[in-house]
Homo-oligomer: A and B are copies of this chain.
């Protein structure tokens, strides 16, 4: 019973007010799988180049992540470089070398196709759909997307998310996808496109879960210091999806909404830990005990 995660495995160059790293392990699939690994077993589908380091492969394997779907292609691994603003609420992309990711065609090992849980990271919608269609026994499927696909691949995207049980996007993406600036109205339009569970992430301000007849709003965790927000949204996805998989939920049937609320909180918890150190560094030491401790902290600082 595993979670299949599709997306990018990359190298990132990141500069924040706290420092600069020229090259470190990154990519949505990496963050999602690492984060989810605290809750459930996961299997990744991604492509890297011949330069992908053994130590990075080891980090993923040590967290119990199945790498049989990690293809090594001729060429270099996807590289992204960016610099964050002083308050870290904005970032500027300095360089994007797609490299082997440019021609990524997700290939699912046979053992993946009968897994019950699927998370489709931010890649071309048609590829997301292709993966979805190869899965024969899904209990839930969700995913992420971005402005580029919303603007330039709208029809493909709509055909893709129509099958999903949940969609995780940020507030600006929700506005762009729906054409509504008010988030309640935006959410209603997006749920009508397919996903009956819509998570809208708001960075440091937390996240909201919309369902056809209910709303949950979670504030963000207030860190003493945000070192590097890279990957926080993907770690949210990993925590949210990982918790649902750990609990064995079937999102095609009924589910106690409070369980989905708790999944949002676990998502927030994982996003907050991600920001505490550069890149994936925090996952070298993070324990489930710390995660559950922060979940309890959320209970305390939201109780009234």
Using a CB–CB cutoff of 8 Å, the interface residues on chain A facing chain B are 86-87, 181-185, 202, 205-206, 208, 214-220, 222-226, 258, 261-262, 264-265, 298-304
Q: Could you tell me the dominant secondary structure of chain A's interface residues?
A: mixed
Bound Cα distance A218, B303 (Å): 9
Q: Which residues of B contact A219 (CB under 8 A)?
A: 205-206, 217-219
Q: List 16 interface pairs A-B (beta carbons < 8 Å), by A numbering.
A: A182-B225, A185-B224, A202-B205, A205-B205, A205-B219, A206-B219, A208-B222, A214-B300, A214-B301, A215-B301, A216-B301, A217-B222, A218-B304, A262-B304, A298-B304, A299-B304
Q: Is the CB of A182 within 8 A of B224?
A: yes
State the CA gap A300–B298 with chains docked (Å).
16
Residue pair A303, B87 in contact (C-beta under 8 Å): no
Contact, CB under 8 Å: A304 / B264: yes
Q: What separation, in Å, do the CA atoms of A87 and B180 have in the docked complex? A: 11
Report whether B87 and A181 are in contact in the complex, using a CB–CB cutoff of 8 Å.
yes
**Cβ of B303 and Cβ of A223 under 8 Å apart?**
no
The reply to whether B302 and A217 contact each other, CB–CB distance below 8 Å, is: yes
Whole-angstrom distance between the Cβ of A230 and the nearest chain B Cβ = 18
B258 touching A303, Cβ below 8 Å = yes
Query: Are B258 and A184 interface neighbours, CB within 8 A?
Result: no
Tell me the smallest distance from the CB of A300 to a CB of chain B, in Å: 8
